[in-house]
Amino acid sequence: MESLVIHGLNALLYSSVLFLIAGGLSLIYGVMRILNLAHGSLYAIGAYVTAWSIGAASAAGAPNALLFLLLPAGAVAAAAVGAALEPTLLRPFYRRPEEYQLLVTFGLLMIIEDCLHLIWGPNPLSAGKVYQLAGSVTIGTSRYPAYNLAVIAIGILSALALWAFIYRTRFGVVLRATSQNMRMALALGVNVNRIYIQAFTIGCLMAGLGGAIVVPGQSAVLGMGVEALVLAFVVVVIGGLGSLEGAFAGALIVGFLRETGIALFPEVELAVLYLIAAVVLLVRPAGLFGRA
Amino acid sequence: MPKNRPLLMVLAWLIPVAIALLAAPYVVGPFHTLTLMYGLVFGIGVLGFNLLLGYTGLLSFGHSAYFGAGAYTVAFMVKYFKIASMELFLAGSVLVSVVISLVFGIVCVRYTRIFFGILTLALSQVLWSLAFKFFWVTGGTDGLRVPTPSLLGMSPGTDKMEFLAFQYYYYVLAVFAVCVAVMWVIVHSPFGKALQAIRDNETRAEFIGIRIRRFRLIAFVVSGAFAGLAGALWAPLNGLATPDILVWTFSGEIVFMAVLGGFHNFIGPIVGAMAFTYLKTYAVGLTVYWQLALGTVLVVLVLALPKGIMGLVELIVARLRRPR
């Protein structure tokens, strides 16, 4: 029973991070119809910037409370990179066939991966101090890291915030309108360029936040973005590309499957995930929540 | 004007290229011969890939799976069946990649455009994760060693470099020539024309009686077979089959090669594979940040030169021909 609770919490932890990455990917696709292969790299930027700033602050002797405040630094950095990329590199590609869109984001992925290498070197970067400072809570007879609970809370809160933002604000209405019919929105006087840049920035902010909250628990390493991207693909394929509810459900499904897989059949754990994504596509081509 | 002028035009550049390729090992030394060989091997794979992208209009982001399946088949045949014959390697690899691409293809050809890309990517990662996790079978990240094979029943000499730069080079060149010829016949056959019809207008193609899904599946399998063959040729050259060639970023490199050469052109993929191999060899030799360099090339390429090298060549030729 107790170990079940802990497995459940681990699954939720994993789902929270996955939702942040895949939700951003799905939001960007939903609004702009562009599949960003560099999305995982923005997650890596979030992880690196947070790890670096926490490391630098704690080396400079900053008070412990400040270290927690530095957590969102990675999210802000990823959002800034996103805001700079959309108008410069992606905008020329909306009218071109999607192979070019995929290729330009693939080139971006290569560039960002090596920039991280160039700036922070080949060694993993860790922000483990925050993880330790958060302490642990007791569940039954075993202890569970309190930081993990905070990550779960952040995941749930950001899902709620995003939902409220998209379904309960004026900006959200305009965003959804643009996503459903870009030309009509344009004709009705929506500044589509501005919507695109805002949507892309929010998507990148989410990916960066995912990286930022993951990094105290595990180090920032090269290649983390490439790995995360494929998992995010699995999530959006299961949930439906372009749907936030889908990303949420998909992240939960993948999170729990992965935790079960690691516990029961570690060798084929990843293979099973990819196969499930393929089966979902066969049965429901647009994903569980997608509109075809 | 003579009736067979196009044929003469083709021969006019084909013969010098063929002579250059045949003479290469005696002229440029082992380093360039080996690089050239990598180019030829990737050329076969990208040629197969381009049957899907250039001729059928399907962008696969999972061709690492078939290339890697070919390479791993060779490694398995060495490790578990103690086979050393290159001909058997080629046959086995083509067989395995045909089976895998048939299974994956049945799933993937139900979709087009972006979903096709994601699905091919996700399925290719099934193979990667299996190669990565079943380390007692596949050697995990260390990979599996592939020794020098025997060619046409003749066992290789003791000098590996000598073997690779001469005997194996000509072997690869011969297979390459056959592959190019086969692909030429395929794309100029009624089947190839049907694929192009599907690419250009799916609905019209269906109305004139083309069974779209079946044609796409056949194209997918042929494409996978070429990639598997390339993987089999690559394995002895590299000496090692590792999971690196199954990761989806390698599929990205295959797409890169096709676009670099120009995927609207028959020989574009070959030119792209050559250019990419040299570009990567020099970039890796020059700096550890070769990904940064290649990524920048890719972004500039798609922004400024979307038709690739062959597109540029066609443009220049057209300029020169224009009457002044």
Per-residue pLDDT of B87-135, as tens digits, reads 888 898 999 999 999 988 888 888 778 888 888 888 888 888 888 777 7
Which residues does chain A have within 8 Å of residue B249's beta carbon, measured at their own beta carbons? Answer: 109, 226
Contact B45, B67 (CB under 8 A): yes
Residue of chain B minimizing CA distance to A273: B126
Query: Which residue range(s) make up the domain with B131?
Result: 5-321
pLDDT (average), residues B46-59:
89
Is A267 in Cβ contact with B115 (below 8 Å)? no
Which residues does chain A have within 8 Å of residue B296's beta carbon, measured at their own beta carbons? Answer: 107, 111
pLDDT per position as a tens digit, B152-196: 777 776 777 777 777 888 888 999 999 998 998 998 888 888 888
Distance of residue B95 Cα from the nearest chain A Cα, in angstroms = 22
Count other Cβ atoms within 10 Å, centred on residue B162: 13
Q: Which of residues 1-40 of A touch B (CB under 8 A)?
A: 35, 37
Average pLDDT over chain B reads 84
Q: State how many domains chain A has.
A: 1
In this prediction, residue B22 has a pLDDT band, given cuts at 50, 70 and 90, of confident
User: Tokens 């139900």 sit at which residue?
Assistant: B110
Among B29-38, B71-80, B213-222, B261-270, the range of highest mean pLDDT? B213-222
Is B291 in Cβ contact with A103 (below 8 Å)? no
Q: Is residue A278 a part of any domain in this protein?
A: no
Q: What is the largest CA-CA distance in chain A?
A: 62
- A161 interface with B at CB cutoff 8 Å: no
> How far is CA B28 from each of CA B31, B171, B173, B264, rounded to the nearest angstrom?
8, 18, 16, 31
Distance of residue B233 Cα from the nearest chain A Cα, in angstroms = 27
Identify the residue among B298, B300, B305, B307 best suited for mutation to test binding to A, counting A beta carbons within 10 A and taking the highest.
Answer: B298
- A89 interface with B at CB cutoff 8 Å: yes
Is A117 in Cβ contact with B130 (below 8 Å)? no
The region that residue B140 occupies, defined by phi over 0 for left and psi between -120 and 50 for alpha, beta otherwise, is left
pLDDT (average), residues B197-220:
86
- A119 interface with B at CB cutoff 8 Å: no
Is B294 in Cβ contact with A281 (below 8 Å)? no
In this prediction, residue B308 has a pLDDT band, given cuts at 50, 70 and 90, of confident
Count other Cβ atoms within 10 Å, centred on residue A71: 21
Question: Tell me, what's the pLDDT at B21?
Answer: 79
Which residues does chain A have within 8 Å of residue B247's beta carbon, measured at their own beta carbons? Answer: 226
Spans of chain A below 70 pLDDT: 290-292
Distance of residue A186 Cα from the nearest chain B Cα, in angstroms = 25
Q: Model ipTM?
A: 0.81
Q: State how many domains chain B has.
A: 1
pLDDT per position as a tens digit, B235-244: 888 888 888 8
pLDDT per position as a tens digit, B309-322: 888 888 888 888 77
Is A266 in Cβ contact with B118 (below 8 Å)? no
Distance of residue B162 Cα from the nearest chain A Cα, in angstroms = 35
- B189 interface with A at CB cutoff 8 Å: no
Query: Which residue range(s) make up the domain with A212?
Result: 2-222
Which residues does chain A have within 8 Å of residue B259's beta carbon, measured at their own beta carbons? Answer: 99, 103
What token pair was written down for B106? 């049945």
Which residues does chain B have within 8 Å of residue A277's beta carbon, measured at their own beta carbons? Answer: 122
In this prediction, residue B46 has a pLDDT band, given cuts at 50, 70 and 90, of very high
How far apart CA A208 and CA A154 sit, in angstroms, is 13
A-B CB pairs within 8 A amount to: 126
- A276 interface with B at CB cutoff 8 Å: no
- B141 interface with A at CB cutoff 8 Å: no
How far apart CA A195 and CA A162 sit, in angstroms, is 16
> How far is CA B44 from each of CA B38, B72, B136, B172, B231, rounded to the nearest angstrom?
10, 17, 31, 10, 9
- The pLDDT > 90 percentage for chain B reads 19
Q: Which of residues 206-245 of A touch B (CB under 8 A)?
A: 226, 230, 233-234, 237, 241
pLDDT per position as a tens digit, B294-305: 888 888 888 888
In this prediction, residue B324 has a pLDDT band, given cuts at 50, 70 and 90, of low
> According to DSSP H, which parts of chain B are helical?
5-27, 29-50, 64-81, 86-108, 113-133, 135-138, 160-162, 169-188, 190-200, 202-207, 212-238, 248-261, 268-286, 290-304, 308-321
Is A96 in Cβ contact with B303 (below 8 Å)? no
Residue A125's closest CA among A227, A205, A211? A211
- B52 interface with A at CB cutoff 8 Å: no
Identify the residue among B49, B56, B64, B114 best suited for mutation to test binding to A, counting A beta carbons within 10 A and taking the highest.
Answer: B114
Angle between helices A73-85 and A39-59 (to 10 degrees): 140
Among the partner-chain residues A35, A93, A106, the one whose CB lies closest to the CB of B298 is: A106
Is B130 in Cβ contact with A271 (below 8 Å)? yes
Question: Tell me, what's the pLDDT at A102?
Answer: 84
- A292 interface with B at CB cutoff 8 Å: no
The region that residue B262 occupies, defined by phi over 0 for left and psi between -120 and 50 for alpha, beta otherwise, is left
Which run of H or of E encompasses A137? strand A136-139
Question: Tell me, what's the pLDDT at B182?
Answer: 92
Question: Tell me, what's the pLDDT at B44?
Answer: 93
Phi, psi of B48 (to 5 degrees): -65, -45
- B115 interface with A at CB cutoff 8 Å: yes
- A121 interface with B at CB cutoff 8 Å: no
Question: Tell me, what's the pLDDT at B4?
Answer: 63
Contact B115, B223 (CB under 8 A): no
Q: Is residue A272 a part of any domain in this protein?
A: no
In this prediction, residue B1 has a pLDDT band, given cuts at 50, 70 and 90, of very low
Residue B271's closest CA among B312, B216, B231, B212? B312
β-pair partners for B151: B154
The predicted model scores a pTM of: 0.85
Question: Tell me, what's the pLDDT at B3?
Answer: 56
Identify the residue among B249, B286, B288 best suited for mutation to test binding to A, counting A beta carbons within 10 A and taking the highest.
Answer: B249
Q: Which of residues 1-40 of B touch A (CB under 8 A)?
A: none
What CATH code is carried by the domain that includes residue B165?
1.10.3470
Which residues does chain B have within 8 Å of residue A114's beta carbon, measured at their own beta carbons? Answer: 289-292, 295
Among the partner-chain residues B61, B133, B292, the one whose CB lies closest to the CB of A267 is: B133
Three-state DSSP class for A96?
coil
Q: Is residue A217 a part of any domain in this protein?
A: yes
Contact A52, A185 (CB under 8 A): no
